[in-house]
Amino acid sequence: MEDNNKLAGFFKAIAHPTRINIIKTIYEKNICVNDISKELNINQPNTSQHLAILKNHNLLIKTKKGNEACYKIKDEGIIKLIQEAEKLVEKLEK
Amino acid sequence: MEDNNKLAGFFKAIAHPTRINIIKTIYEKNICVNDISKELNINQPNTSQHLAILKNHNLLIKTKKGNEACYKIKDEGIIKLIQEAEKLVEKLEK
DNA sequence: ATTTTTTATTATTATATATTTATATACTAA
DNA sequence: TTAGTATATAAATATATAATAATAAAAAAT
């Protein structure tokens, strides 16, 4: 039952359209904050904040190159989980 | 991208410890509000509210017997998804 | 008919999350 | 060293979610 808190925290981390978008966008990439910000058309601080939330839940890995910060998916399991959730949502609608 | 809103809404629906608990508890049962309320030790209005959220996201099916309302899991896919999420969270911690 | 039981809804208050704006830090380049 | 670029953090505001308490609605039992 206490584990439900941890799990709920994980779901909360991905329960945001922008963060789902970030995960999908950086999949198979190692991409820096500025490029994510431009590509998704969200401002820099908000981008950093969402990235921090995902990183804090161990979904992303951060590396630094000079003054740039690059992020990538830690484990592709999150991609699979999102895909399965998408299928389930479709199925549940019927 | 618009689909991310729908998906985020789905994750939000399950991103709460009590609601995860409800899903796990009523799995393979058809159980009325009062019994859920007692079993999980949450008050009746709060129980009804959480059930309504899950039902609104098509996760539960509601039936009425006399003056009782019974709820059951609509599709066991949600159980599988939760189990996979639990495994993933464990894996990500390492 | 009235009371009891069960559930749902509404209103209130409390708490959490999100977005924007401003500021700070770190590194690079001139 | 100063100016520029990239990122993070903090503060302020707005919005959303949650929990409790109060009320309403529906059916059952007396």
The whole-number average pLDDT for the span B35-60 is: 97
Per-residue model confidence (pLDDT) at position A15: 98
Chain A positions in Cβ-Cβ contact with residue B11 (cut-off 8 Å): 11-12, 14-15, 20, 85
Answer yes or no: is pLDDT of A65 > 80.
yes
Answer yes or no: is pLDDT of B31 > 70.
yes
The whole-number average pLDDT for the span B53-68 is: 97
Question: Buried b vs exposed e over B7-44: b needs ≥16 C-beta within 10 Å?
Answer: bbebbbbbbbbbbbbbbeebeeeebbbebbbeebebee
Between β-strands B68-73 and A60-65, what pairing exists: parallel, antiparallel or unpaired? unpaired
Domain count, chain A: 1
Percent of chain B with pLDDT over 90: 95
On chain C, which bases lie within 7 A of the protein's CB atoms? Answer: 5-10, 17-23, 26-28
Answer yes or no: is pLDDT of B59 > 70.
yes
Which nt sits closest to B34, CA to C1'?
A: C6
* CATH at residue B20: 1.10.10.10
Per-residue model confidence (pLDDT) at position B2: 66
> Residue A39 — pLDDT band, cuts 50, 70, 90?
very high
- What domain range includes position B31? 3-93
- Average pLDDT along chain A: 96
> Residue B1 — pLDDT band, cuts 50, 70, 90?
low
Q: Which residues contact A12 (CB under 8 A, 6 or more apart)?
A: B11, B12, B15
The whole-number average pLDDT for the span A47-72 is: 97
Per-residue model confidence (pLDDT) at position A64: 94
Indicate if the alpha-carbon torsion angle A40, A34, A43, A77 is positive or negative.
positive
